Structures are given as structure tokens and as C-alpha cells.
Structure 1
Amino acid sequence: MPSLDASDLQPNGHGAVYNRIETPRSVTVGVDDPVKPQLRTKDSTNTSSDSDAKEQNRREEIVRGGPTSFKFMNLYRYATPLDKFLLVVGIIATGANGALFPLIAIVFGDVLTGFASTPVDMDAVNDAALDYLYIAVFMFITDYVSYVAFYYSAERQMKALRSEALKHMLFMDISWYDENDALQLSSRLTGDTVRIKDGMGQKLGDSFRFLVQFIVGFIIGFARGWDITLVMASVMPFMTVSLSWLIKTMRIKSDWAQKVYAEAGSVAEETLGSIRTVASLNGEKKAIAKFEAKVFAAEQENIALHKISSIVFSLFLASVWIMYSIGLWYGGWKASKGETTPGDVFAAFFAVMMGTGSLAQISPNVSAVSKAAGAAEELFAILDRASAIDAEKEDEGIIPETCEGKIEAEDEGIIPETCEGKIEAVNVNFTYPSRPDAQILRDYNVTIESGQTVAFAGASGGGKSTLIALIERFYDPTSGTIYLDGRDVKTLNVKWLRSQIGMVSQEPVLFATSIFENIAMGGENVTRDEAIAACKLSNAHNFIMSLPEQYDTLVGEKGVSLSGGQKQRVAIARAIVRKPNILVLDEATSALDNESEKIVQAALNDLMATTNMTTLVIAHRLSTIRNADKIVVLNEGHIVESGTHDELLKIEHGIYQNMYRIQELRSQEEQEEAERREAEIINNIDTKLSRTMSGVSTKTDIS
């Protein structure tokens, strides 16, 4: 059965090695500890060992998304051997570059000693000049190598991380989306990954460079004048404490600011994505106010933070110059007593100066690394949460049912050879995870035979659409069981299960591409002939052929260039090319005008008459389900009535009878109102014509 493979929507492109990476959805407890799926026979299910029970508990902890400790090396979760090699090369080159810079102090001390000689020691000066040339060449090489290695490694890993993050989000269970803002998730895919790339790339290299520069600078300082270096280092404790406080505070505040700015970004994205609605409601000022309210708190907190951090950083820089002052005074005092040479004094002084100077430069780089760790912690928390319903498993290569018995892969699920379309709900109770206090279905029992057309009617919020969500395994029942052809849907491969179902909803979603591409998303390798055949069945072919670009017409964002009826017919065609065994019509015509409803309903009637699909209809207008094989009436999660249209109308004071009569009265009133308006229009036209003709006759008489 053809189905759209969601994993094909985001090709990896990073290299074949990433195809072997186990995703966190495979229930990853730690970075290097994936829980592998195991094959088992159906008969052995009830004889699981204690280790299996422990394993199940561990899986549930992951699904709940419990807190996990984040380590810096987790940033490199998606590093391939090549990425790790580039990282090592970058670290070596960066370390060498950082060590070379303080060597300038040694050369400077030697050349100062040469200049102090009488006459000037030109050999020492020439050697120093040559040493500077060597240092320049090696610094160029190491700086170039480190930049390329860190950047290339970070870019490759970000490509893999973005692909894996999108793939993971696409396959998360729907209840997870009930608790998370999709717009904020898209912000994490863009903004957070940029921060991570900066922190694990050149910013990390610069942090390591300045750290090495600091260490080597003090080593040279102790070698050329240990007491001078020790005196200068007396200020170091204050510098270290202030710098560590600054880094820690920036990390905490940046994490909070990221969340607030992500919320603000989602407001902006939502507003811009619905600009027509915003403009029609004159809601621009409200949208701006909502955006500014989100940003204002973060801005005020950042201003206060930077006021304090500016004071701390200013004190840090002042302490650096105090260190230089103390070192220069002490070195001069020693040189004046003949205990050391001016060359050694300046070599030690400049070495320590370069070392401490690197601390000032390391701060923004360490802050960037810290922000990357904070962003990664948020993003990896999503990646480390397993989906309660795993739709990622492919339906290829999985062992189907055999004559020897049912064999299933624990995580993959059964793939039956055929699907008849018989659906049963047995003692089903359900509560949405996001609304645990509101029970939607109570002791729900219904049987839908293969090939039947069954409609569900009732008041809004009564649970009509919930059964569809449970059949597609967007959710699992709180208790009870949903069966498809006698098998618990929980035992079926999710991708295969959803490939058997074609869905046409009240508000069809079309993507910003051509009509053909929208239809082709319904199945795998859909040809243009198949799309045309589906459009003929859905009464969409004629209007498509009347468009300038026909099937290559771009529909715009959310299908804005098409009318409601046209979008609905394209959505029906998309469901048809899926070749489903189960067709779901979720109030497919309720949002249409009368003319569009007639066209779409005719297409649906033709489709149901020419195929043997099991059809589930969620109805708002009861006139559209009169010919259903069975109508199920729900009220507050209970099935209160069930039967054919004629049978339900015979139930005195029944819910369906009352609903149908009310809708008939409304239809009659609407028809009478339409006829009255039509009569008024005709009368107005007749009156105007009479006046016009009267004026013409008067002019004729006068003449």
C-alpha cells in the first residue's frame, strides 16, 4: 500500500555514516547506551523476565522525559570519526597558535638585551628579527588550520543535528505537540543550532587558544623571573573569581533569555503567517504589543545584568593594569639593584601581560561556549525524549505474519499482508494528556464491519473525532482496546497502519507548492496519470484544467489561491492516491457554502459508491449521512443511539431525531429567507425597469 515516507522529506546529505546513527527515539538512556529492539514471538509475550520489566520501566522514564545530566562532550554526539579527527587537528593547531604568541616576550627580552649592549649586539637583533619572521609564518599556518578544522567540523555536525532534530520532531507523538508550541520548536531548529555551532566551532577554538596563551605566558614568566611573576600573580584570585562569576551569570541569564526570545519569535512567526487575518481584524497593534511584552522582560533583565557585568568587567580590567603596575615597579627595583637584567624583566613582564591579556579575550568566547551548552541542553532534552507512539520505524524489511505464527519486532510491530478494514473499539476510555481532568470517551464500544460506511453524530466535544485519532494512533486509549481486523492496533507497525487510512478533514492543509505535488504527497511515487485519475474521482480535474498552469499551479501558503471547495477536492484526491482501505471524512463539507458542498458531497458519494473502503464519516450536517450503513450518536463520550437514519428517526424524543428536525427547520428557514431575498431583488429590478420604461414613454409623448 503506497504511503508517504516522512523520512524522505528531509534527506540527510551529511554522509552515509549518519545513516547508522541510532536516534534517541530508539530509547537512548545515555549517549552511548541505546536500547536495541529485540525480536520475539507472540507466545512469549506473557513470559517476560524481570529484566524485561526493568527495561520497560526504563523506557517509560525516557518517554516521560525525565531530567538528565548534561555534559559538555554531549555537544559532539553526532560527530563522525572525520569530525573528531578535525576537532583534534583544530585543537592541536589552536594550542600551537596560542603557545606561539607569548614566545614573542622571550624574543623581545633578547632583543632588548642586544640593544642595551654597547655597541648594539646586531647578531642578537638579527636573530630576533628572524625569530619574529618564523613566528609570523607558523602563526599564519596554525591559525588557518585551526579555523578551517573547527568550522568544517562544526558545520558538518550542525547539518546532522538539524536533520536528526527535525526527523525526531516529525515522529514525536501528537500528545507531545499538545504540550509544546510548534513555532518555538522551529525557533530551536534555527536559532539554537546556530548558537551550538558557534560554541562548538571557532569560539571553542579561541577559548582554547587564549587558555594556552595564558598558561604558556605564565610558564615563560616563571622561567625568566619567577618572583616578578609571583608578585604580578597576587592579583589573580580577584580576577579569577570575577571572571568565573561573570561566566556563570551569563550562562544562567542567557538560558532564560533564549526561552523568552523563542516565545517572542513564535508570536512574530504566527502573526506574519496569518497576516491576512491580522490585517482584516486591524490587529497589528495588538500583535506588536504582544511581541513587545514578551521581549520587554528579557530586555530589562539583560540591561540590569549588563550594568552589573560591566562593573565587574571594568574591575577586572583595572586589576589587570594594577598587576602591570606592580610587576613593572618590582622588576625595575630588582634591575636597579643588579639582581636581574632588563631583558629578563621585560621578558617576564610581557609574558605575564600576554597571559593575563588573554583572560580578557577569553571571556566572550567562553560565554559563547556556555550559551551553546545551554542551547544544546534544551535541544538534546527534546532528542532524548522518546515518542510514546513510535511512528519512525520503517515498514520495509520487517517480518510480516507467517503461517507458522505471528512474529513481531518489539519496536517495529506487525505488518499484515492484507487489510480488510474491520474496526472494533472495546471498553475504550480516553482522556487527552493535556486535559487530564476531562474524560472524552467512557466505556466506548463500537464495531465497524469491513466496507461499511459508519457516521458519527453528536454535539461538539462529544468525542466524535477522538475515535479517529485513536485508530490512527495519534493517541492510545487510557484503557480498553482498538482492534483492526482483530488485531490490537498497538501491535501493528504505525507507518503501515497510517498508510491504510485516507483522511479528509474539515480544514484541509495544502502545502505551498503545486497542485500535483500536493496530491503526490498522498502516496509514494505517484505518477501524473494517477493524480489525474484521482482528481477525476474527486471532481477536481475540470477546475484544475481551467487554471493557466493546470496541475503545475502553485496553491500558495495553506492553499490561499484556491477556494474552500477547490482545496477540499484536492485534499480528497490526495486521499484517493493513497489507495486507503479506510477513508475518514472529518466534517469534510461543514465549512463550505451550499454550492461547494453539493459538488464535494457528490464527489464523496461517487467515491464511496465505486470503492469497497471502510468509511468513517464525522458529520455536522446530518443530511449528508442519510445513506450511511450505520449512524452512531454520541453524547459526553457515551454512545447513546445507534442505527440507520430511518431507525434513529423512529426513536421518539431521541437525540438524533431532535438534531435532525432542528437542522431541517433551519434549512427551511434559510431557504425561505433566500427565496424572500431573491423576491426582493426581483421586485427591485422590476420597479427600476418600470420607472425607466415610464420615463422613456413620457419623453416619447412630449416629442
Structure 2
Amino acid sequence: MLGVGGGIFVAAFVANAATGIGGGLLTMRVRMVTFTHILRQEVGWFDTHQTAELASQLESDAKAVQVVAGQRVGILIQGLVTLVLGMVLAFTAGWQLALVVLAIFPLLGVAGYLEMQTMGKSMMANKGAGKSLDDFAAEEAGERQTARGVEFSGGRPGLLASEAILNVRTVASSTAEKGVEEAYAAALRGPKHAAYRNAQIAGAGYGLCYAIIFGSYALAFWYGGVLIDRGTLTFQQVLEVFFALVISATTISQSQAMMPDWAKTSAAVNNIFALLNRRSRIDAESMRGCTLDTVRGELALRSVRFHYP
């Protein structure tokens, strides 16, 4: 067992390191090539492509490409290999029980997928709680918040708190503490209801997932007991079939839940290739054409008058 654990540790380390390093190198390469082609475009091209847009696209498109070749793809490959090996082991140990477990395989896959999706949304909600609070509060309180005759720009909790702290002397001298407190409480009312609603949805999602999972476990063990009672399989064979297929279903469903948005990735790849395939009307790096040894220019101003309004 120690040898198996050590082998898994080494294999997981090598796989994650290889995909992580490969994804990082690919991202750097994509950014360098894209940036080089941006610099090679003629001046007129930048009239329709803003600098901020190009900088944002340079970052987001490279990240989207990294997702395709990064650790998530390694996780998907790991899930597919686990699925194949699990099915081979299960049908070798006991094909009767393997067929029954395989029938509920889609349910296990859906349950695992929903579990990972619910967990991911919960983590993102907790991570971006400040932003979500501000958004919901802005909808709840409107563009401007008025309480006890004191008006504050924006109904966002963070903005209200920062304004009150930065202008604490004005708030204190105007005896507006109560108004600030009421405005802040009103701004939090919307996010509070949203948090309750999200918690209920997450709880229902987790409950449904585990109901499907443990219901499938119960069916598999019940039929395994029937096969043991008939003498068709042994207890060890039942466990081998059960864990091989269940772990395979869980792994592949979790892998699918962690996969990137292929639509965004495809759009990013199209943007990159559209830029790489575009030929600049004035290519500064091109060696074609006649190269002049010396260039002399003269500038003359005639009949020019200057005046100030």
C-alpha cells in the first residue's frame, strides 16, 4: 500500500508539474507572438483597435488558451483513464453486478457533476462576496441613497463605508452617524436576501446530489448481497466491482465539471489566429522592396501666418 501511495504521489506530481509548466510556457509563447504581431500592424489599424482593448485581449485570450493545455486537461485525461481501467476491473471481477452498477452510472455521473458545480459556485460566491454585495445593493438602493436627510452617492455598502470613513469628521460634525448607519443597513438588505436564497439553493443541490449517490450505493450493495446469497460472487468481488465503477463515475464527472468553457476558448483561439493571419499594410520588418542608402528631406513653409485668438 505504501508503494502504491508513493507511486500515485510521484505520478500526480509529474502530471501536474508537466501540465502546469507546459500551460505556462504556452501562455508566454502566445503572448509574445501576439504582441509581436500587434507591433507590426500599420498605424491606421490602431484607429479601430483601442490600446486598452488590445491589452485586455492579450491577457484574456492567452489565459483561455492556457486552460486548454493546462492542468484541467490533465485532470480530464486522468478521469478517462480511470474510467477505462475501472470498467475493465469491474467486469473482470463480476460482470453481473457491473451491469447493474453501469445502469446507474449516469445518475452517479450527474450527481458528481452537480456536486462539483455547486461547490464551485459556492466558492466563487464566497470569494467574490464583496462584489456581489455591491451589485445587489446597488439594485436594491438605486443610484443614490438617502437616509435621515443625508444623501450618499451610490447604494453600495463598500462605497458607503469608505465615504463615511474618509469623511468621518464631516459625518461627526453633521451628527449624521445615524443616517450613515441606516443607509448602510439598507444597502445590505438586498445582498442579505440574496445570500439566504443562494444558501437554500446550494443546500437543496447538495441534498439532491447525496440522495442520488447514496441511493445508488444502496441499490448496488443490495444486489451485491443478493449475488452473495446465491453464491455467484464473494464479498471481496462485490467490493471490487462497486468501488471500481463508483470511483470511475465520480472521477469522470468531477473532471467534466472542472473543464473550461470551450466556447470562450474557441473564441479566444479565433481571435489569436485572426491577428496572426493578418498581414500589415506597412510591414516594418519586411526586407522586400528597394532599400535606399541615403534619404534627404526638405521642408518649406510658405505664406504661413500665425495668430492667437
TM range (shorter): 0.5 to 0.7
Q: Superposition pairs for residues 385-396 of structure 1, below 5 Å?
A: 385-394=277-286
Per the TM alignment, residue 235 of structure 1 is displaced from its structure 2 partner at its CA by 2.5
Shift, 1:142, TM fit: 1.1
Is 1:225 matched up with 2:101? no
CA change 1:235–1:181 in 2 (3 A) is farther
Counterparts of 2:86 and 2:254, CA distance in 1 = 14
* Counterpart check, 1:413 vs 2:289: yes
Instruction: Give the whole-Å Cα distance in 1 for the aligned partners of 2:278 and 2:255.
Output: 38
From 219, 233, 257, give the equivalent of 1:364: 257
TM-score by length of 2: 0.62
**Match of residue 197 from structure 1:** 66
Matched, 1:345 2:238: yes
Task: Name the counterpart of 1:56.
Answer: none
Q: Which residue of 1 aligns with 2:219?
A: 326
- Equivalent positions of 1:246-261 (< 5 A) are none
Distance (Å, rounded) in 1 between the aligned partners of 2:241 and 2:47: 63
Q: Please state if 1:187 is matched with 2:79.
A: no
Q: Cα gap change, 1:135/1:176 in structure 2, threshold over 3 Å: closer, same or farther?
A: same
Q: For the Cα contact (< 8 Å) 1:172–1:389, is it kept in 2?
A: yes
1:10-67: CA deviation from partner (whole Å, max 9, x where unpaired)? xxxxxxxxxxxxxxxxxxxxxxxxxxxxxxxxxxxxxxxxxxxxxxxxxxxxxxxxxx
Whether 2:65 is the aligned partner of 1:172: answer no
Give 1 or 2 for the bigger CA radius of gyration: 1
Equivalent runs, 1:504-543 vs 2, <5 Å: none
Q: Using a 3 Å threshold, how does the CA distance of structure 1 residues 314 and 360 change in structure 2: closer, same or farther? A: farther
1:284-683 mapped onto 2 (5 Å cutoff): 318-367=211-260, 370=262, 373-374=265-266, 376-394=268-286, 398=287, 412-421=288-297, 451-453=298-300, 628-629=301-302, 644-645=303-304, 667=309
Query: In 1, distance between residues paired with 2:203 and 2:283?
Result: 50
> Counterparts of 1:314 and 1:367 in 2: how far apart (Å)?
26
Change (3 A) 1:311 1:359: farther
What is residue 235 of structure 1 aligned with on the other side? 104
- For 1:376 and 1:315, how far apart are their aligned partners in 2? 36
What value does the CA root-mean-square deviation take over the aligned residues? 3.8
1:10 equivalent in structure 2 = none
Residue 213 of structure 1 corresponds to which residue in structure 2? Answer: 82
- Cα deviation per residue 1:135-188 (whole Å; 9 max; x = unaligned)? 112112211221222222222222211111111112223343333332122122
1:155 to 2, 8, 24: 24
The one-letter code sitting in structure 2 at the alignment partner of 1:331 is G
Q: Is the 8 A contact 2:108 2:250 kept in 1?
A: no
Change (3 A) 1:224 1:162: same
Q: Deviations over 1:50-95 (max 9, x none)?
A: xxxxxxxxxxxxxxxxxxxxxxxxxxxxxxxxxxxxxxxxxxxxxx
- Deviations 1:184-220 (Å, cap 9, x if unpaired)? 2212222432343244121211111122112211221
**Counterpart AA for 2:294:** T
User: For residues 283 and 257 of structure 2, what CA distance do their matches in structure 1 show?
Assistant: 42
Q: Deviations over 1:434-477 (max 9, x none)?
A: xxxxxxxxxxxxxxxxx241xxxxxxxxxxxxxxxxxxxxxxxx
* Paired AA for residue 293 in structure 2: E
CA distance in 1, matches of 2:293, 2:88: 73
User: 1: CA distance between counterparts of 2:98 and 2:233?
Assistant: 13
Asked if 2 retains the 8 angstrom alpha-carbon contact of 1:195 and 1:372, the reply is yes
Aligned-partner Cα distance in 2 for 1:317–1:309: 12
Distance 1:378 1:308 in 2: 37
Q: Is the 8 A contact 2:65 2:269 kept in 1?
A: no
Cα distance in structure 2, aligned partners of 1:313 and 1:138: 33
Distance 1:192 1:317 in 2: 37
Does the CA contact (< 8 Å) of 1:210 and 1:359 recur in 2?
Answer: yes
Which residue identity does 2:281 align to in structure 1?
I
- CA distance in 1: counterparts of 2:221 and 2:25, whole angstroms: 48
Q: What's the CA shift string for 1:328-379, capped at 9, x where partnerless?
A: 11111111222210010111011111111103321333236x3772463254
Q: Where does structure 2 lack aligned partners over 5 or more consecutive residues? A: 118-152, 157-194
Distance, in Å, in 2 between the alignment partners of 1:147 and 1:392 is 41
Q: Structure 1 unaligned runs (5+)?
A: 1-131, 248-284, 289-302, 399-411, 422-450, 454-627, 630-643, 646-659, 668-703
The equivalent residue for 2:4 is: 135
**Equivalent residue runs for 1:80-91 within 5 Å:** none
Report the CA distance shift for 1:392/1:321 in structure 2 as closer, same or farther (over 3 A): farther
> Hey, what's the Cα distance between the residues in 2 that align with 1:364 and 1:390?
46
Residues 484-539 of structure 1, C-alpha deviations (whole Å, 9 max, x = no match):
xxxxxxxxxxxxxxxxxxxxxxxxxxxxxxxxxxxxxxxxxxxxxxxxxxxxxxxx
Percent of aligned positions that are identical? 20
Cα distance between partner residues in 1 of 2:257 and 2:50: 31
Cα distance in 1, alignment partners of residues 209 and 61 from structure 2: 30
Contact 2:61 / 2:272 at 8 angstroms: preserved in 1? no
2:14 is matched with 145
The 8 Å contact of residues 158 and 193 in structure 1, kept in 2 or not, is answered as: yes
Task: Give the residue type in structure 2 aligned to 1:334.
Answer: L
Q: Decide which moves more: 176-185 or 161-170.
A: 176-185
> SS of the counterpart of 1:205?
helix
Q: Give the counterpart letter for 1:219 in structure 2.
A: V
Structure with the largest fraction of strand: 1
Q: Which has the higher helix share?
A: 2
Aligned equivalents of 1:415 and 1:210: distance in 2?
59
**DSSP 3-state at the match of 1:367:** coil
Distance 1:174 1:236, change over 3 A: farther
**Given that residues 40 and 285 in structure 2 are in contact (C-alpha distance below 8 angstroms), is that contact kept between their aligned partners in structure 1?**
no
Give the letter aligned to residue 418 of structure 1: T
Residue 167 to residue 144, structure 1, CA distance change in 2 (3 Å): same
Structure 1 residue 415: Cα displacement: 1.7
SS at match of 1:366: coil
Q: Would the alpha carbon gap of residues 187 and 340 (structure 1) be closer, same or farther in structure 2, given more than 3 Å must change? A: same
**1:176–1:326 distance in 2 versus 1, CA, 3 Å:** farther
> What SS is found at the alignment partner of 2:232?
coil
1:180–1:316 distance in 2 versus 1, CA, 3 Å: farther
